[in-house]
Structure 1
Amino acid sequence: MSTAMYNNCQNGNENVTFLGKDSKMPSKQKRTGLVVGLVLGLLVLAAVAGFLIWWFAVRPNQLQQDSVPKMGAQRNLGTLVFSGEMTLVDATYKPEYNDPKSLEFRETADALQDILNKTIANDNFLFKYYNKSVISAFSDGLIAYHWIRFDIPPEQSELIPKLTADRVLETLRRGVRQEGKRSIQAFTIINITASITDPRMARNPRDSECLFRLDATSTIQKFQSPGYPNEHPVQTRCQWQIRAPEGSAIMVKFPYFYVQDSCSTDYVFIFDSLSTDTAHAITQNCGHRPPTNPLEVISSGNLMLINFITDSTVQRPGFDARYNAISAITAATCGGVLNNLTGNFTTPFYPSFYPPMVDCTWNINVPIGMKIRVKFTMFRLKEPGVSIRVCNKDYVQINGTKYCGERSALTLNSNSNNMVITFHSDSSYTDKGFSAQYNAYDPQNPCPGQFSCATGFCISKELQCDGWNDCGDMSDEKKCKCEEGHFVCDNGICKPMYWVCDQVNDCGDGSDERQCSCQKNQFRCTDGTCLPNTVTCNGARDCADGSDEASCKESAGMCTDFSFKCGNDQCVNKLNAECDKVTDCLDGSDEKDCDCGERPYKHNRIVGGQNADVGEWPWQVSLHFQTSGHVCGASIIANKWLLSASHCFMSEDLSYREPGNWMTYSGMNDQQKEEKSVQIRGVKNIITHTDYNQMTYDNDIALLELTEPLVFSSTVHPVCLPSNSHVFPPGMPCWVTGWGALREGGNTATLLQKAEVKIINDTVCDTVTEGQVTSRMLCSGFLSGGVDACQGDSGGPLVCLSEANIWFQCGIVSWGEGCARRNKPGVYTRLTKFRQWIRKHAGV
């Protein structure tokens, strides 16, 4: 057997005694040839023995030493670390094991590390790249937590895929029990595990800095990241081992959490164990969480491990944490029998993360003859790498179907007066869980005064057969009797006649575009002109608007209406090239000034919620006029510039045109609360468009210069402005926000409101507004009505999310007939027509 490494990877050799000088030299015998012969013989034998010992014992070990990289060589190697645990049968847990400096910890850890060393040495491939094994902690059981490190040289990096967790685990399971029995301090080892781990989380408790051992009690205690509340150090490697009394669980809350939003470099990783084995991971988090969405986690037992890792050069404050012990019985108890006609139920400790290894069952019973509808107002059971079609880990099961992931809408009906709902969480990764409401209903009239979707969801009857998929499964658009002036799609859906041949597949099956004037072998320009397909991407501008060359790599340099124009006048024929996180311009101007359109805070999706969350729309501004309070909205486009609508200021009352009569409130959510995050600024200058028409609202755009710059934060952040070539296609979902009236003629809102609307085709927009829109306007909303901006929202932003997850302002709330009326969508100032105007006057 090859020489093993002992004593915590000190590369110690087996004990080999070389013959010393005294051993080689016999006592002197005078003048006897026999003695001389004996001496020579012994010398020869000693030399031969020494050579054999060196060849068979020392040389292999030296080769092994040369082949095993030391920790100092880490940067130049492919480092793989596997972590896990093992159970020691017939061993007794001692309180001294909690202290890595204690003699008991050292002796037992050294013995187990020696066993792991010998076990790995039995696999020639693994041992060639083996570095060390470390016992990092012990817990009741007796359970020992370990990690094992391997280093593969760069020139052999192709071998990394072969050094897998399965290979390591197979070797451990095959040999660790035998080596444990052979050990001087004999152990019977079972249930050994190993999984791949970020090497940065591998901590040796006997020589690591920033490693803390905490004892949780019923009293709330705290700990913080290094440097908090100032910036944490670069390359932080910290770990907190938290223990609670037996029979308890641990709750940790983070009132403040701000880590660089890149979980590949910076993160907090929490485990339901004292090992970084992903089989017991609770969550990995990064980014900035608002106070309305704090990170709160719970363990399944009396152990928890928290790791804080940073490598990004961008430093953040880190976190402030609170922890305490709670009853494990409470943490695992949930479910029950629900007999009322209406009620609510949630995952354990909602809105905190639910604990691992929990099973709950709710049995809902209502009177015979009635049925049950369950509506989830929040649903988050997300887990890395889990398909929402399979839901093989955490799930909710209803009517025999499993549900998981994150869902924006989930409403389910029972088949009888009884419904059984089960919830299961496994040993790894937890989430916010769900909050649900249930109610009993008459199956003969499931949605009184409303339309009943096949999903069980109830919608307004006005939304049925309006051409929009309001139910989510198209059930509101099926079996419709089309009104006069509507087109009947092949799939039975009704669409307005003026949507036919508008180059948008409104029906979903293409039938509204099938009988249009262009032939199959023809290309239709956006202005309706039909040309042969051969004109596309041929380097020539055949369509008047150049749409035949849009998004053509072959047409690089050709400028069309759809081209993005770089700072060096280069044209990029790529749809929405700016701020898509891909540099297309040679001078990089398409990705310049793109620190915009991102929401610093991480938000949950609230199903059906219309109240905006704190920091959800950080570019939204409230404009207050004198003592009248909120009058109009605006959006942040730079630290000293806001964007709004001209009609907010161009009133017959000249006082509205005076900058000194206005105050701006950025970062506001509630009009009636004094929020510390709100930044109040005066207005230095109001710039309205010189061609603004008070009769038609044409060119309804204004710029506000602030008296002093804003300080960008988690609740105050600019939105991105689109280039003049940016396309917001019909049907695209966008959001309008503001404190406007909640209904026509009603009072303005106290809390910031949000509404999802859809971009409406220009042809449709022109038709329903009877030709009142100009090319500098666009329509957005729903022709069926019900959702719209209203009085007080004027000047506020209409924003759309790009494929690169960046928010662009598409429009400015301008005008409309009433609020949310049928066939009267909201009309917005089209920002793509004013990009040069904004740049000219604000330099943005």
Structure 2
Amino acid sequence: KKRGPGKVGIIVAVVTLAAVLALIIGLLVWHFHCKSDLKSQKIYTGSLRITNQVFVDAYENSDSAEFKELANQVMAQVRTKFKLICFGSVIAYYESEFAVPAGQEAAVDQAVNTSMRFTQHAKSSAEKIITSPGFPDKPYAPDSFVQWQLRGDPGHVLKLSFDTFNLEENCSNDFVRVYDSLVAVDKHLMEEECGFYSPSNPLTFISSRNVMLVTLVTNKEENFPGFRAQLACGGKLSGTSGSFKSPNFPSYYPPNKTCQWDIEVPDGKYIKLRFPKFMVSTGSLNHCSEDYVQIVGKSTLCGQQPANTMVTVNSNKMTVVFKSDSSQVDRGFNATYEVFEPTDPCPDKFQCDNKRCVNPSLRCDGWNDCGDSTDERNCKCDASMIQCRNGFCKPMFWRCDGVNDCGDDTDELNCGCKSGEFQCKNNQCVSEKLKCDGNRDCKDGSDEDGCSRDMCKDSTFMCSNGKCITKPNPMCDGQDDCGDGSDESNCNCGKKAYTKSRIVGGQDADVSEFPWQVSLHVKNTPHVCGASIISEQWLVTAAHCVQDDAKIKYSQPGTWEAYLGLHTQKEKPKSTKRLIKQIIPHKNYNSYTYDNDIALMELDSPVTFSETIRPICLPAATDVYPAGETVTISGWGATREGGGGATVLQKANVRIINSTVCDELMSGQITSRMTCAGVLSGGVDACQGDSGGPMSIFSNERMYLAGVVSWGDGCARRNKPGIYTNVPKFRAWIKEKTGV
């Protein structure tokens, strides 16, 4: 009979059984409890359409109040019920993310750090560029995931072109995907790309609507330069009206650019296209083969077109192509389109031959409102107008002013001068006070014939050798009229750094285009008045700028600071600042009539001339500016009557206006020391804040200070020109006070 197991064997068996039971229990607990805490990450994407909302740009920013308010409304709606929505104005794209397992935080942090998301809102007028992170300075990062969410305006599609594309050859490692959606859904995938594509054969994608998604995924090895892509200008436009413009307008468009806009309006309607501003370079060939705008099948435009140039097509579809080459660029254009009924192209308006529509009240008012003069043809004039023999009507105040306004001399026939006026040999009438004043106020100079006077009085140019020069504009014309060169000395003035071609109706000046322009500030305040540099230490401004009022002593030099070389008011620290040493207003300045409205300012220390700081040339006392001559005004004044000042220096071209006509328009307030200039049809003028600044004229390859901005009746009003101090009248005074 065998012996049973001893005590040791029993203990071993019990311990072994207990260990097995513990292991089984532990596995069961882990399986039913701990394992249930493991979570795998899931991401769901999709979209839903919101029917009762109109998209606004603020929805692009998830931190905006508008976005949050709409999101709360959507969340509340989804909690109560969910249904398929098929129509509407706002599409909401969403992603749902779930947490990752515990212990994997470091991996998640790394994934988050190499994940980036960008959003771009493409405009039809502006080129948007997207690049892989680091491009072109360094390769894209390893183990990264990058998204670009692209959106265009309603009614447009997106065109994305990769002019540089250089990724790893194997698409299982690094790749770019482009989706016809804002979410990465396979059914919207347009293409997956990797490898290299030549710039001469770029990758191009066109969306079916106004959204697109681009993703870049990279692995850990072999990183490459990456890519650059452009959201092209142009696109599809629809609806009954809309607008578009050249890239960067009103700044200069880029070279080598092509944009196309396809416009489609409802069936049965025609399209009217209007260009409020149009400045497209003609280049060196001076015709439309370099830069142009083509209305396909209709016309091609280039150069500087009149404001509101109009083109119509008898169709509900129009294609507009803009092209620039590699030579000169210009400001470009802005354009609007609208529909019209084929049977009534100008509802309640007069239709010009060029298809422009104008108010019927502008017909036969003496102004070329159409741009092609068709509103002024075959007119029957009332008693307040001149009836020209060629069928035009002209304002009565243009009669007998020495200018052939009718075009057939009707307005200059049978003219007799009024009391107090001198009749020139060409029948022009000028004030008796202008006879023998040294200026050719008559176009034929007959007001100066037979005058016995000292030819070297203040009104003429006297050479250093004592010789007197009577020819107009003898200074700096390249000819030694004096014989000692004194008329050609001091000619380092009036030169622009560039030759490109608060002003109402103007445009931004180029940097350093007017290096003599000065911005005058009362200390610690914004821009107050303008001024012009005439030497290293002297400025010319308006006397009315330096008149005291109840609060500020404008006449005191310590009140002012001058900024030279300034282009944008926000960049004052980059300009040259000077304080004022003394102020010399003209002793005969009349604060009621603004006669003799000129003053001099001496800087506390000289300035060094540079590309951004240069003097303007001073005219000779004999200089005369005939009616019709083009002059340029510049300043930071108000860009509309009653408006705020400009940030960027503005410029505009206006024309000298006959002094007799101007005196009648301004109710007899014009003196011989004033010059009138403007656009009598309105729209272009100096305004508040431009006072004291220059009215410059181009002569002998230089700019001369023809006038100082003085006064006016409002800003840019019709029949109300701007009034400027006539600088030639004060040439001797400037020389006396400054030595310049």
Q: Report the TM-score range of the alignment, normalised by the length of the smaller protein.
A: 0.5 to 0.7
2:256 alignment counterpart: 355
Secondary structure in 2 aligned to 1:638? Answer: coil
Q: CA deviation at 1:799?
A: 2.1
1:670 alignment counterpart: 568
Q: Equivalent of 1:789, from 686, 689, 707?
A: 686
Asked if 1 retains the 8 angstrom alpha-carbon contact of 2:683 and 2:716, the reply is yes
Which amino acid is 2:657 matched to? I
Q: CA deviation at 1:517?
A: 6.3
Structure 2 counterparts to residues 38-57 of structure 1, below 5 A: none
Gap change, CA 1:371 and 1:715, over 3 Å in 2: same
Which amino acid is 2:403 matched to? V
Q: CA deviation at 1:830?
A: 1.1
2:214 alignment counterpart: none
Gap change, CA 1:701 and 1:451, over 3 Å in 2: farther
Secondary structure in 2 aligned to 1:498? Answer: helix
Q: CA deviation at 1:726?
A: 1.2
Q: Equivalent of 1:382, from 274, 277, 282?
A: 282
1:658 alignment counterpart: 556
Asked if 2 retains the 8 angstrom alpha-carbon contact of 1:739 and 1:793, the reply is yes
Q: CA deviation at 1:648?
A: 1.8
Secondary structure in 1 aligned to 2:601? Answer: strand
Q: Equivalent of 2:724, from 820, 828, 833?
A: 828
Secondary structure in 2 aligned to 1:545? Answer: helix
Which amino acid is 1:661 matched to? T
Q: CA deviation at 1:641?
A: 0.8
Q: CA deviation at 1:661?
A: 1.2
Number of positions where the alignment pairs a residue of Structure 1 with one of Structure 2: 503
Matched residues in 1 for 2:360 and 2:493: separation? 40
Matched residues in 1 for 2:576 and 2:361: separation? 41
Structure 2 counterparts to residues 183-198 of structure 1, below 5 A: none
Matched residues in 1 for 2:504 and 2:596: separation? 36
Matched residues in 1 for 2:448 and 2:573: separation? 51
Matched residues in 2 for 1:644 and 1:600: separation? 22
Q: Equivalent of 1:524, from 413, 426, 429?
A: 426
Matched residues in 2 for 1:352 and 1:695: separation? 47
**C-alpha distance after superposition, 1:724-755 (max 9, x if no partner):** 11121112232333333444444444443434
Asked if 2 retains the 8 angstrom alpha-carbon contact of 1:348 and 1:354, the reply is no
2:739 alignment counterpart: 843
Q: Equivalent of 1:402, from 270, 283, 300?
A: 300
1:442 alignment counterpart: 340
Gap change, CA 1:462 and 1:566, over 3 Å in 2: farther
Indicate yes or no: 2:273 matched with 1:373.
Answer: yes
**C-alpha distance after superposition, 1:403-453 (max 9, x if no partner):** 345657573322223223345678x85745944423214368878999876
Q: Equivalent of 1:545, from 440, 447, 450?
A: 447
Matched residues in 2 for 1:637 and 1:667: separation? 14
Which amino acid is 2:673 matched to? R
Q: CA deviation at 1:707?
A: 0.5
**C-alpha distance after superposition, 1:266-320 (max 9, x if no partner):** xxxxxxxxxxxxxxxxxxxxxxxxxxxxxxxxx9959xxxxxxxxxxxxxxxxxx
1:504 alignment counterpart: 403
Asked if 1 retains the 8 angstrom alpha-carbon contact of 2:563 and 2:572, the reply is no
2:596 alignment counterpart: 699
Indicate yes or no: 2:580 matched with 1:683.
Answer: yes
2:242 alignment counterpart: 342
Matched residues in 2 for 1:447 and 1:301: separation? 47
1:759 alignment counterpart: 656
Which amino acid is 2:243 matched to? G
Gap change, CA 1:512 and 1:579, over 3 Å in 2: farther
Matched residues in 2 for 1:465 and 1:456: separation? 18
Asked if 1 retains the 8 angstrom alpha-carbon contact of 2:255 and 2:327, the reply is no
Structure 2 counterparts to residues 805-820 of structure 1, below 5 A: 805-820=701-716
Secondary structure in 1 aligned to 2:554? Answer: helix
Q: CA deviation at 1:702?
A: 0.5
Q: CA deviation at 1:472?
A: 4.0
RMSD of aligned Cα (Å): 4.5
Asked if 2 retains the 8 angstrom alpha-carbon contact of 1:353 and 1:431, the reply is yes
Matched residues in 2 for 1:476 and 1:509: separation? 18
Matched residues in 2 for 1:842 and 1:451: separation? 57
Asked if 1 retains the 8 angstrom alpha-carbon contact of 2:273 and 2:337, the reply is yes
Gap change, CA 1:682 and 1:502, over 3 Å in 2: same
User: How many percent identity over aligned positions?
Assistant: 46
Computing the radius of gyration from Cα coordinates, the structure with the larger value is: 2
Structure 2 counterparts to residues 21-32 of structure 1, below 5 A: none
Indicate yes or no: 2:616 matched with 1:616.
Answer: no
Secondary structure in 2 aligned to 1:648? Answer: helix
Q: CA deviation at 1:337?
A: 3.8
Indicate yes or no: 2:637 matched with 1:740.
Answer: yes
Secondary structure in 2 aligned to 1:655? Answer: coil
Matched residues in 1 for 2:609 and 2:253: separation? 29
2:615 alignment counterpart: 718
1:306 alignment counterpart: none
Secondary structure in 2 aligned to 1:718? Answer: coil
Q: Equivalent of 1:419, from 308, 311, 318?
A: 318
Gap change, CA 1:393 and 1:618, over 3 Å in 2: closer
1:593 alignment counterpart: 490
Asked if 2 retains the 8 angstrom alpha-carbon contact of 1:300 and 1:355, the reply is no
**C-alpha distance after superposition, 1:642-698 (max 9, x if no partner):** 111112223355822211111112233333x13454211100010111222223222
Gap change, CA 1:657 and 1:435, over 3 Å in 2: closer
Asked if 2 retains the 8 angstrom alpha-carbon contact of 1:742 and 1:748, the reply is yes
**C-alpha distance after superposition, 1:120-144 (max 9, x if no partner):** xxxxxxxxxxxxxxxxxxxxxxxxx
**C-alpha distance after superposition, 1:163-207 (max 9, x if no partner):** xxxxxxxxxxxxxxxxxxxxxxxxxxxxxxxxxxxxxxxxxxxxx
Q: CA deviation at 1:809?
A: 2.0
Matched residues in 2 for 1:439 and 1:407: separation? 17
Secondary structure in 2 aligned to 1:793? Answer: coil
Gap change, CA 1:766 and 1:361, over 3 Å in 2: closer
1:293 alignment counterpart: none
Structure 2 counterparts to residues 183-262 of structure 1, below 5 A: 219-220=135-136
Which amino acid is 2:554 matched to? Y
Q: CA deviation at 1:705?
A: 0.2
Gap change, CA 1:481 and 1:662, over 3 Å in 2: farther
Which amino acid is 1:546 matched to? E
Gap change, CA 1:514 and 1:429, over 3 Å in 2: same
Asked if 2 retains the 8 angstrom alpha-carbon contact of 1:218 and 1:326, the reply is no
Which amino acid is 1:355 matched to? N
Instruction: Give ranges in structure 2 of 5+ residues lacking alignment.
Output: 1-132, 139-161, 166-197, 202-224, 418-423, 432-443
Gap change, CA 1:396 and 1:451, over 3 Å in 2: same
Q: CA deviation at 1:761?
A: 1.0
Q: Equivalent of 2:473, from 546, 553, 576?
A: 576
Asked if 2 retains the 8 angstrom alpha-carbon contact of 1:546 and 1:561, the reply is no
1:206 alignment counterpart: none
Matched residues in 2 for 1:421 and 1:745: separation? 37
Secondary structure in 2 aligned to 1:343? Answer: strand
Gap change, CA 1:607 and 1:743, over 3 Å in 2: closer
Gap change, CA 1:762 and 1:372, over 3 Å in 2: same
Which amino acid is 2:395 matched to? P
Matched residues in 1 for 2:672 and 2:692: separation? 19
Q: CA deviation at 1:711?
A: 2.9
Matched residues in 2 for 1:515 and 1:746: separation? 45
Q: CA deviation at 1:811?
A: 1.6
Instruction: Give ranges in structure 1 of 5+ residues lacking alignment.
Output: 1-216, 223-246, 251-298, 303-323, 530-541, 550-556
Structure 2 counterparts to residues 619-658 of structure 1, below 5 A: 619-651=516-548, 653=550, 655-658=553-556
Gap change, CA 1:729 and 1:677, over 3 Å in 2: farther
